[in-house]
Structure 1
Amino acid sequence: MSGSEKFNLFSFQGKMKTLHLSWMAFFITFVVWFNFAPLLQAVKESLGLTTAEIKTLLILNVAFTIPARVLIGMLTDKFGPRLTYSLLLAICSLPCFAFALADNFVQAAIARFALGFIGAGFVIGIRLVSEWFPHNELGTAEGIYGGWGNFGSAAAAFTLPTLAVIFGGDDGWRYAMAITGLMSLVFSVIFYLNVSDTPKGATYFKPKKLGAMEVTSKGDFLLLLIMKLPMYGALALLAWKLSPAGIGMFGTTTVNLIYLGLAALYLLDAWKVWKVNKEVFYTQVADIHKYPFKQVAVLSVLYFATFGSELAVVSMLPLFFSETFELTPVVAGMVASAYAFMNLMSRPGGGWLSDKFGRKPTLLILTAGLAAGYFLMGQVNGAWPVWAAVVAAMVCSFFVQSGEGAVFAAVPLIKRRMTGQIAGMTGAYGNVGAVVYLTVLSLVDYNTFFYIIAGTAVLGFVTLLFMEEPSGQMAEVNEDGSITMIDIAKA
């Protein structure tokens, strides 16, 4: 770990080069992932889609990311961030091109569902950045990675409608989306040629077993099985949305088969958890190797409320401003991007505050602000000046994205060799939140939607009371059996 190297944002050497290339990769994944929302109206008119079908595409856009983040987290821990990120960027350019060529709802839905996989890229960078930065800079570095990368959604909102207009005609949106796919493909090569998994001479610790997250106690084993349920539940919720009770894309028989398939997958997942962790029922794990899985559970719940709400709000905000204030699609997209614009400073700010004042105190304050911010958004209506609504969105966004930065300032401090998997589960909960919130949005009005998010933030605050402030050191075992102690907080 390059702890002695100065933290200089204007440097492109050593750990700073890794940080910059990481956020650039994440930025591109978000441009690709959210290239739909700012072009939503053009896609709707071009393909002749209904409002229900558009809302379904918004849900599909985030659904596949739930299992993808868990899977990518495992692959990152096993094969390293360099190879995993490069392949993800290259492979996901293909469904991006497919969406740009779609002629009907079914083609668009399949491509959009597959594109959810690129949302897993975030997990990879969390592990990569944690390998290069010491604990006292980790929150800031992860915040910059997450915040500047997240800004890809705002960049998409700003630039893609303009690109579509430049190309002109009914197919303008297709060219704009294809350009984002090309960016992803090209950068996959750049990333692979310029990044290494660890600083020279450092050890890349890998999990002992692949297939499920390791836990170190019987209670944590049970908690892990419980924490997996909402991820499958969110996918079942999506299936319900596509059933005759929703938009009717699938018949009752097909949806019931999906339910059975998800139940079977959960049982298979539970069996893998048992296979990896059955030793905890027979032997006592040494204290030096134990870690509290409840930390993962608490951070996952908080990410449900923070990033889950951001995904949902970024997806619906252009339409919200368009309908509430009767703005054109281009203007509504640019105005709505103010919400995501805050990522540039808010998420790094949340990480920096965590480095300076502690992980738990920072999260308590930001989660309280999150609840208040969404309550304020719930009061926005057509009688408000547009500028006041934008200010309300930016205030809310500050707490949302600072909270995200604070969450991932804590994630890498739990267990180094499983950082990808821990980030995968925490990140997946963000997508679970997005599916839940977007489903709620399809059933209620905008104001109620914002109030419901505020309520879940309050629940997150209560859950946070059970979190422990990271302290001391964590132990990792080298291949020769020796133990390396890694600092996770100031002595």
Structure 2
Amino acid sequence: MATIVFAVNFSVWTLYSVIGIELKAVLSLSSTELGLLFSAPILTGALLRLPVGIMCERYSPKMLFVIQMLILVPPLYFLPAIESFLGYLAIGLVIGISGVSFTIGIRYLTDWFDSDEQGTAMGVFGAGNAGAALSLIIVPYIRDIWGWDYIGLFYCVMVLIACLCFWLFAPSTPEYLNNKPKQSLAFFIKPFKHAKVWRFGLYYYFVFGSFLALLLWLPQYYVNAYQLSFNQSMGLTLLFVTSSSMARAAGGWFADRFGARNINWGVFWICLICLFFLSYPPTTMTIHGVSKDVVLNIELNVWIFTLLLLIIGLAQGFGRASVYKLINDYYPEQMGSVGGLVAMLGALGGCTLPILFGAAVDLIGVHSACFMILYGVLAVCMLLMHFAIKRERYNARVKHANQHNFLEMD
């Protein structure tokens, strides 16, 4: 039930990724303005994840889920009445509340599973990212049959049905857990002082934030860079989203079996190699030979481009699951607060990266500039992870030496 409801919410959160192509043409938006429009719902969903995560430690996650969905109904209903860029920004900020569904759902699930099952359970729940596929499938269909004006109404009805079903059929938190002594706020925010929590947030900024940014950016990228039709762009983006989301469930199982950190490190290396090739812009090179000039054209065709994207998407799916397995390993009693902070930092990637993508394209003038940005973000993540692992191994050796009297403390 939680996974289905999360999928519905995620489809609302990423709705602008589909209608953005139409809005860019109708409102005559630049790449930077389009990035701002994409970022509007992501910003609200990101910033609210931390306070909502703390609320989940105090109040019923099930009821918070229901309230969150009811808040979405009015803005979706009035979406067809909007005609200006600022109006779409305002509505986007409100429907961004759908983004907190991940934090609520993670906290709702942790009460039902043992530690050795948490990675798999959260991975299956995280597969609700495939809710973005709903938008990629449904919106073109509604547009072709009824027109753009019916999209908001359809989503409004869909959210109401999901809300009612979850309220009626989803189990409530076990009574014995409701009767547990309530911890203070200080207990839940204490881990925020730990550097590893913020490091986890940076990892999630890449594996989730860049996934979200690509989901928003890819439809118009295919249209502008490869001159594909609207439906073709939706289909290829759908392939990326669905495969990455389904991989998250498998990633949770692998993190349970082989260790979350090992999975993360492998994910980063795979993505780094793929991003290197995706970053290279179409290039024409002239080699002056002995008797004639040789002209080389270097460019990724749409199928190689899509294959590299699929590899990145699959790797990111594994990475999203392994990050939350790491959080559960270190902070099992603070999943709401720590998970909310990490989710907030990750979702901020989905907010800031589309703006950076648009600015980079406008400034540099090549479509692949967005992948140059991602390459730089990933390089920083890998450097921090390398030094963190090195420091932890050093501390472990010192601790072992002290315990076995290899070092004497004055």
TM-score (normalised: structure 2): 0.83
Say if 1:464 and 1:196 are closer, same or farther in 2 by CA, change over 3 A: farther
Residues 154-180 of structure 1 show CA distances to partners (whole Å, capped at 9, x for unaligned) of 22112211221111xxxx223123212
Specify the SS of the correspondent of 2:359. Answer: coil
Q: Find the partner of 2:92 among 112, 118, 121.
A: 112
Which residue of the partner structure matches residue 126 of structure 2?
Answer: 146
Structure number with higher helix proportion: 2
Contact 2:52 2:104 in 1 (8 A): yes
1:22 matched to 2:2? The reply is yes
Residues 275-303 of structure 1 show CA distances to partners (whole Å, capped at 9, x for unaligned) of xxxxxxxxxxxxxxxxxx33322211100
Q: Find the partner of 1:185 among 160, 182, 192.
A: 160
Contact 1:131 1:197 in 2 (8 A): no
Q: Which amino acid aligns with 1:30?
A: F
1:179-258 paired onto structure 2 within 5 Å:
179-199=154-174, 201-202=176-177, 208-210=183-185, 213-215=188-190, 224=193
1:353 matched to 2:254? The reply is yes
1:68-147 paired onto structure 2 within 5 Å:
68-147=48-127
1:423-442 paired onto structure 2 within 5 Å:
423-442=339-358
Which residue of the partner structure matches residue 7 of structure 1?
Answer: none
Instruction: Measure, in 1, the Cα distance between the counterparts of 2:159 and 2:253.
Output: 29
Say if 1:35 and 1:202 are closer, same or farther in 2 by CA, change over 3 A: same
Contact 2:31 2:358 in 1 (8 A): no
Residues 441-486 of structure 1 show CA distances to partners (whole Å, capped at 9, x for unaligned) of 12213323212212221221233342679xxxxxxxxxxxxxxxxx
Which residue of the partner structure matches residue 378 of structure 2?
Answer: 457
- Structure 2 segments unaligned to the other structure (5+ residues): 283-297, 362-366, 394-410
Instruction: Measure, in 2, the Cα distance between the counterparts of 1:200 and 1:367.
Output: 41
1:329 matched to 2:230? The reply is yes
Contact 2:18 2:219 in 1 (8 A): yes
Say if 1:422 and 1:204 are closer, same or farther in 2 by CA, change over 3 A: farther
Instruction: Measure, in 2, the Cα distance between the counterparts of 1:121 and 1:320.
Output: 28
Identical-residue share of aligned pairs (%): 21
Specify the SS of the correspondent of 1:315. Answer: helix
Shift of 1:425: 0.5
Q: Which amino acid aligns with 2:70?
A: A
1:267-346 paired onto structure 2 within 5 Å:
293-346=194-247
- Structure 1 segments unaligned to the other structure (5+ residues): 1-20, 225-292, 470-491
Say if 1:294 and 1:197 are closer, same or farther in 2 by CA, change over 3 A: farther
Q: Which amino acid aligns with 1:456?
A: V
1:401 matched to 2:401? The reply is no
Shift of 1:197: 4.2
Instruction: Measure, in 1, the Cα distance between the counterparts of 2:149 and 2:272.
Output: 38
Instruction: Measure, in 1, the Cα distance between the counterparts of 2:272 and 2:153.
Output: 38
Say if 1:206 and 1:97 are closer, same or farther in 2 by CA, change over 3 A: farther
Q: Which amino acid aligns with 2:140?
A: P
Contact 1:369 1:399 in 2 (8 A): yes
TM-score (normalised: structure 1): 0.70
Instruction: Measure, in 1, the Cα distance between the counterparts of 2:274 and 2:76.
Output: 34
Instruction: Measure, in 2, the Cα distance between the counterparts of 1:201 and 1:373.
Output: 48
Contact 1:126 1:412 in 2 (8 A): no
Specify the SS of the correspondent of 1:442. Answer: helix
Which deviates further from its counterpart, 51-60 or 66-75?
Answer: 51-60
Contact 1:146 1:405 in 2 (8 A): yes
Q: Which amino acid aligns with 2:308?
A: A
Specify the SS of the correspondent of 2:360. Answer: coil
Instruction: Give the length in aligned residue pairs.
Output: 370
Specify the SS of the correspondent of 1:425. Answer: helix
CA RMSD of aligned residues (A): 2.4
Higher relative contact order (CA 8 A, sep 6+): 2
Contact 1:371 1:455 in 2 (8 A): no
Shift of 1:379: 3.4
1:174 matched to 2:146? The reply is no
Shift of 1:69: 0.5
Q: Find the partner of 1:57 among 21, 37, 42.
A: 37
Which residue of the partner structure matches residue 327 of structure 2?
Answer: 411
Shift of 1:25: 0.8
Say if 1:205 and 1:451 are closer, same or farther in 2 by CA, change over 3 A: farther
Say if 1:442 and 1:46 are closer, same or farther in 2 by CA, change over 3 A: closer
Q: Which protein is bigger by CA-based radius of gyration?
A: 2
Q: Which amino acid aligns with 1:182?
A: V
